[in-house]
C-alpha cells in the first residue's frame, strides 16, 4: 500500500481541491483511502461528502482550575504565573483563563490551600467515516490547542487501519499548510510528496521551504503548478525553484472553473467528474498518472 501526501507549504493553493480530484481519478482503477491531515481546518470531508462519521476524543495537556470554595484570595498563584493566565475575579476569588494557561503546574505547587488543581483536557477529536471514494480519516483540533502534530499522527493511524480494512492500494493524504510539526507528522514515512504551487512570489518561497523539509526526511517531491496561466512571471519563479532543486514538474494546471464545479459535485455525493475533458482535469489526470507510474500502482 502506497501513501502519497499532497502538500503546499502555504494555504490557498488548491491543495484540498486537487487532493479530492486525485482521489476521484485514482478510484477508477484503484481502491483508495483518504486522510485529511489539516486538523486545524479540515475541509476534505466536505469535499468528499463524508458520512457515517464516528469520532473519539483526543487528549490534550493539563490546565489549571481553581476551586472557588477553597481559594482564600491570597493571589500567590497569579504572582507565580508567568503567562498571566490567572486574574482576580469577583469576591476576591482568582480564576484561570483556559486559553492562556500553558499547564506548567507552578500555580498548583505554590498554593498552600490546594485550591489549584491540574485537570486533563481534550485537545480535539479524531474521526473516521465513509466518503464517495472510500474510507476517510480526519481530525478537528480544538480552539487554542497546540497538539496538532500529535493529532495528525493519530489521524494517520486511523486512516491506515481503515485502509487495511478496505484493502486499499493507496492512501492519499491532504497535508497541512506550512512547514511545522503538523507537516512533518503528515509526510514522515510516506512514499512521495506532491507539492502544489501557485504562480506567485510567496508560492515560490514556500515551495522552496517545503522541498527543504522533504529533503531532510529523504522524501521525493513532485510539483504540480496550479493556476499556471494566471501569472507568467510567477510561473517562471516556480520553474526556477524546481530547476534549482531538481524537482520534476509533473503538470501545469490552467485556471479553470471546471475544477470548482467538479469539487462541488464530489461534495454533493457524486463520484464522477464534471466535464472530464476540460484542460484542467486533463492536466490533473496526467499528474496523477505520472505518480501512478512512478510508484508502480498500475501496469
Same domain, 151 and 233: yes
Phi, psi (deg, nearest 5) at residue 294: -65, -40
Number of domains in the chain: 2
Q: Record the cell numbers describing residue 210, joined without a space.
A: 517545503
- In this prediction, residue 256 carries a pLDDT of 79
258 Ramachandran zone, left/alpha/beta (phi>0; psi -120 to 50): alpha
Q: Nearest Cα to 16, choosing from 28, 40, 92? A: 40
* pLDDT tens readout for residues 112-165: 999 999 999 988 999 999 988 889 999 998 887 777 888 999 999 999 999 999
d(Cα 289, Cα 294) in Å, to the nearest integer?
Answer: 9
Rounded average pLDDT over 269-280: 66
Same domain, 21 and 116: no
- Measured CA distances, 174 to 35, 74, 164, 177, 192 (Å): 6, 50, 18, 10, 13
- CATH number of the domain bearing residue 11: 3.40.50.300
Rounded average pLDDT over 165-173: 93
Same domain, 145 and 10: yes
Residue found under cell 476569588: 93
Domain boundary among 79, 99, 122: 122
Same domain, 196 and 83: no
Check if the beta carbon of residue 67 is closer than 8 Å to that of residue 111: no
Same domain, 103 and 41: no
Residue 91 has pLDDT above 90, yes or no: no
Residue 276 has pLDDT above 90, yes or no: no
- In this prediction, residue 261 carries a pLDDT of 73
Q: Record the cell numbers describing residue 192, joined without a space.
A: 512521495
Residue 54 lies in a domain: no
Check if the beta carbon of residue 137 is closer than 8 Å to that of residue 127: yes
CB atoms under 10 Å from CB of 239, counted, come to: 19
Residue found under cell 467538479: 262
Same domain, 114 and 138: no
Check if the beta carbon of residue 185 is closer than 8 Å to that of residue 156: yes
CB atoms under 10 Å from CB of 88, counted, come to: 12
- In this prediction, residue 267 carries a pLDDT of 62
pLDDT band with cut points at 50, 70 and 90 for residue 188? very high
Domain of 287? 2-49+131-295
Q: Roughly what angle, to the nearest 10 degrees, separates helices 279-295 and 15-26?
A: 70
- CATH number of the domain bearing residue 65: 3.30.70.20
13-17, 61-65, 141-145, 290-294: the lowest-pLDDT one: 141-145
Check if the beta carbon of residue 232 is closer than 8 Å to that of residue 205: no
Same domain, 228 and 151: yes
Check if the beta carbon of residue 86 is closer than 8 Å to that of residue 99: no
Residue 66 lies in a domain: yes
Residue 55 lies in a domain: no
Residue 271 has pLDDT above 70, yes or no: no
Rounded average pLDDT over 101-118: 93
Same domain, 77 and 192: no
d(Cα 177, Cα 197) in Å, to the nearest integer?
Answer: 12
pTM: 0.87
* pLDDT tens readout for residues 3-50: 999 998 877 888 888 898 899 888 888 899 999 999 988 888 888 888
How long is the chain?
A: 299
Same domain, 182 and 114: no
Residue 231 lies in a domain: yes
Same domain, 116 and 139: no
Same domain, 138 and 102: no
d(Cα 42, Cα 194) in Å, to the nearest integer?
Answer: 19
Residues β-bridged to residue 197: 225
Q: Is 223 exposed, middle or buried (0-12, 13-18, 19+ CB in 10 A)?
A: buried
Q: What's the CA dihedral at 177, 183, 189, 191 to 10 degrees?
A: 20
* pLDDT tens readout for residues 189-216: 999 999 999 999 999 999 999 999 999 9
- In this prediction, residue 167 carries a pLDDT of 93
Amino acid at each position: 500500500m502506497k501513501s502519497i501526501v499532497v502538500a503546499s507549504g502555504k494555504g490557498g493553493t488548491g491543495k484540498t481541491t486537487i487532493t479530492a480530484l486525485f482521489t476521484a481519478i485514482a478510484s477508477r482503477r484503484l481502491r483508495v483511502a483518504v486522510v485529511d491531515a489539516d486538523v486545524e481546518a479540515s475541509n476534505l470531508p466536505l469535499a468528499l461528502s463524508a458520512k457515517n462519521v464516528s469520532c473519539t476524543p483526543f487528549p490534550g495537556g493539563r490546565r489549571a482550575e481553581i476551586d472557588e470554595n477553597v481559594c482564600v484570595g491570597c493571589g500567590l498563584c497569579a504572582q507565580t504565573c508567568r503567562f498571566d493566565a490567572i486574574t482576580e475575579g469577583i469576591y476576591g476569588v482568582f480564576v484561570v483563563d483556559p486559553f492562556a494557561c500553558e499547564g506548567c503546574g507552578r500555580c498548583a505547587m505554590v498554593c498552600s490551600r490546594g485550591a489549584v488543581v491540574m485537570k486533563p483536557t481534550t485537545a480535539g477529536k479524531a474521526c473516521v467515516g465513509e466518503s464517495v471514494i472510500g474510507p476517510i480519516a480526519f481530525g478537528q483540533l480544538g480552539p487554542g490547542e497546540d497538539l496538532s502534530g500529535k493529532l495528525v499522527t493519530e489521524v494517520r493511524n486511523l486512516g491506515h487501519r481503515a485502509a487495511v480494512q478496505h484493502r486499499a492500494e493507496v492512501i492519499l493524504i491532504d497535508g497541512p499548510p506550512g512547514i511545522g510539526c503538523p507537516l512533518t507528522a503528515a509526510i514522515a514515512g510516506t512514499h512521495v510528496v506532491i507539492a502544489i504551487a501557485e504562480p506567485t512570489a510567496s508560492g515560490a518561497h514556500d515551495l522552496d521551504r517545503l522541498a527543504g523539509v522533504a529533503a531532510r526526511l529523504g522524501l521525493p517531491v513532485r510539483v504540480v503548478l496550479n493556476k499556471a496561466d494566471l501569472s507568467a512571471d510567477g510561473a517562471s519563479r516556480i520553474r526556477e525553484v524546481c530547476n534549482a532543486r531538481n524537482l520534476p514538474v509533473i503538470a501545469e494546471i490552467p485556471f479553470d472553473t471546471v475544477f470548482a464545479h467538479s469539487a462541488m459535485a464530489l461534495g454533493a455525493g457524486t463520484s464522477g467528474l464534471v466535464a472530464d475533458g476540460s484542460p484542467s482535469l486533463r492536466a490533473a489526470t496526467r499528474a496523477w498518472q505520472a505518480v501512478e507510474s512512478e510508484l508502480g500502482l498500475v501496469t
